[in-house]
Amino acid sequence: MKYAGVLGLSILLFAESAHAVETAGDTAVEIKITAEVEVTVKTADGREEVKRVPAAKVLPGTAVIYTLNAKNTSAAPVADVVMTDPIPSAMEYVDGSVSAQDARVTFSVDGGKSFAAKEALKVKGEDGAMRAALPADFTHIRWQLEKPLAPGEVRAVSFRAKVE
């Protein structure tokens, strides 16, 4: 059985949110999304430490870390979980920042209509000739989990995008 979730993130919605993925019978996968930024804080002993905090307001050039946590809320394993996340408008994917635990990652440059490995993607340049897609061309990221989610299991994937 195939489970797919298309998750939308808005530059205005940086708070934690939860979305249900398509379900069948008594199987369900819940997706929880967080948007965070890294800040440097001083610890009580004076050391500096990098900490993630919810992204409430972000300035141009700031990288936001989007994390999607897929949780199997059913009593049975769920196979073929697919999560697709659009890169928010006014943001650009940070090349090499995608992480995935036991997942195949593909990208889209056409608004989520088709997906391929980022190295295989081509777009039409300003001169009309086809060229390799750049991180600024990516519109969506898709993760296809390679292993079933066990009951109660949570698996995380993430990426970074910078505010333009």
C-alpha to C-alpha distance for 58 and 21, rounded to whole angstroms: 28
Per-residue pLDDT of 68-127, as tens digits, reads 999 999 999 999 999 999 999 899 999 999 998 789 999 999 999 999 999 999 999 999
DSSP line for 57-103: S--TT-EEEEEEEEEE-SSS-B--EEEEEEPPTTEEE-TT--EESSE
| Terminal C-alpha separation, the chain | 39
Contacts of 17 (CB under 8 A, 6+ apart): 32, 33
Go through the domains of the chain in sequence order and give each one's CATH number: 3-163 (2.60.40)
Helical ranges in 106-161 per DSSP H: none
Per-residue pLDDT of 37-79, as tens digits, reads 999 999 999 999 999 999 988 899 999 999 999 999 999 999 9
CA-to-CA dists, residue 95 to 50, 53, 105, 155, 161, angstroms? 21, 22, 13, 22, 9
Residue 68 phi/psi, 5-degree rounding, is: -110, 125
pTM for this predicted structure = 0.82
CB of 103 closer than 8 Å to CB of 95: no
